[in-house]
Structure 1
Amino acid sequence: MNFSSKKIFKNIVAISIVAMFFSCTNNSNEVRTFFTAKNLPVGVAKDFAHVYRDSGRTTSKLFALLLKDFSNRENHPYNEFPKGLKLITFENNGKDSITILADYAISYSKTLITELRGNVVITNHTDQSKLYTDQLFWDQNTDYFFSEKKFRLISPDNDIKGIGFESKKDLTKFLAKKLSGELITKEN
């Protein structure tokens, strides 16, 4: 048998490459642990757009320039929107809609609490009311907003300012604290 050194070298390289591929056996838990230890997201999406549908009906649309998925966190998994978000929700077959805008958001998966920060604007398109604040928490379990920061609520009838605010997601029933401004009430 006559083996050339070129063939022997090729065989050694091929065997080495195959051995390298089979020796790399990271399982998903090891990768997840690595990302968690380094405080890295398990996924990143740019120019993110997602449409939520229920029974073929569009219930909301979410847009974000950047989404970081930290669902690999064992105790407090979350999604971070460091460049802000825009969320449009549709009720009553699209007749009523709410738009939520913020410069930054972080949404915790286990508690379903979302913190919105920086130029937060909530718009109820049905009754033309708008809420402005710098920070707002949204409990998605109850569809309830709350804040202890300054706010301004503008509706066709009122322009209310204060510090501290709670309301349903559609801004129809609210509790405003430390009020200032003009408030018009109607008697039944």
Structure 2
Amino acid sequence: MKHVLVLFLLLSLGIWGCDGNEEIADLPPYVGPMMEADSIETLYSDSAVVRIRVEAPKRFEYDNGNSEFPQGIYIEFYEPDGSTSSTLKADKGYYFRERDRYTAVGNVLIDGKKDHNSLHTDTLHWSPPTQRIFTKARVMITEKLDTLWGVGLEAKQDFSEYTILNPEGTTMLSDDDDEEQ
């Protein structure tokens, strides 16, 4: 009798356990963030000198190493002497680990401190290994005396040199530019 009671309990638990496993098996796998952080600051350094600072009010980190900055991203690029060479600001940001690339989206603004110029676009990519920024989106660059428009851009991350891939409109040339030709 004792063995029958134990066998009945085991069978009852086994049947009850199977029902629970079927419900768990029906759940889709979780694909959301594995970690959430507030008020983040990440520093990139070279030879113990800070070269880049990344700030964001919120960061989601995913299982594959990618990150999302849903409330905006701000990046400062520094000269070897510690002065700021340029800044990048956007409404949202993403980091893709496999490509080692950041993507800034929405009201993207690059402010070039050395040449007092700025870039406005909707989407911009930054590659830390190559120290380059680029986009295929429409761009507007404001310089001291001129505003340039176009589609697509490649530039140094400090925004000291850039190329608009498909320029549009007209631009003013200074007397210095005429003498070089």
Aligned twin of 2:70: 82
| Equivalent-residue separation in structure 2 for 1:144 and 1:51 (angstroms) | 18
Aligned twin of 2:42: 50
How many correspondences in the alignment? 149
Aligned twin of 1:178: 167
Q: Which one of the candidate residues 121, 124, 138 is aligned to 1:133? A: 121
* Contact 1:160–1:183 under 8 Å retained in 2: no
Change (3 A) 1:67 1:165: same
AA partner of residue 68 (structure 2): E
AA partner of residue 47 (structure 1): S
AA partner of residue 99 (structure 1): T
| Equivalent-residue separation in structure 2 for 1:40 and 1:108 (angstroms) | 15
Percent of aligned positions with the same letter in both sequences? 23
Aligned twin of 2:60: 68
CA offset at residue 96 of structure 1? 4.5
1:10-159 equivalences in 2 (<5 Å): 37-70=29-62, 72-73=63-64, 77-159=65-147
AA partner of residue 165 (structure 1): L
* Contact 1:107–1:113 under 8 Å retained in 2: yes
AA partner of residue 80 (structure 2): N
* Contact 1:105–1:116 under 8 Å retained in 2: yes
> SS in structure 1 opposite 2:43?
strand
Q: Structure 1: 5+ residue runs without aligned partners?
A: 1-35
Change (3 A) 1:178 1:155: closer
| Equivalent-residue separation in structure 2 for 1:91 and 1:173 (angstroms) | 15
* Contact 2:51–2:80 under 8 Å retained in 1: no
Q: Please, what TM-score do these two structures have when normalized by structure 1?
A: 0.71
| Equivalent-residue separation in structure 2 for 1:63 and 1:158 (angstroms) | 31
* Contact 2:153–2:162 under 8 Å retained in 1: yes
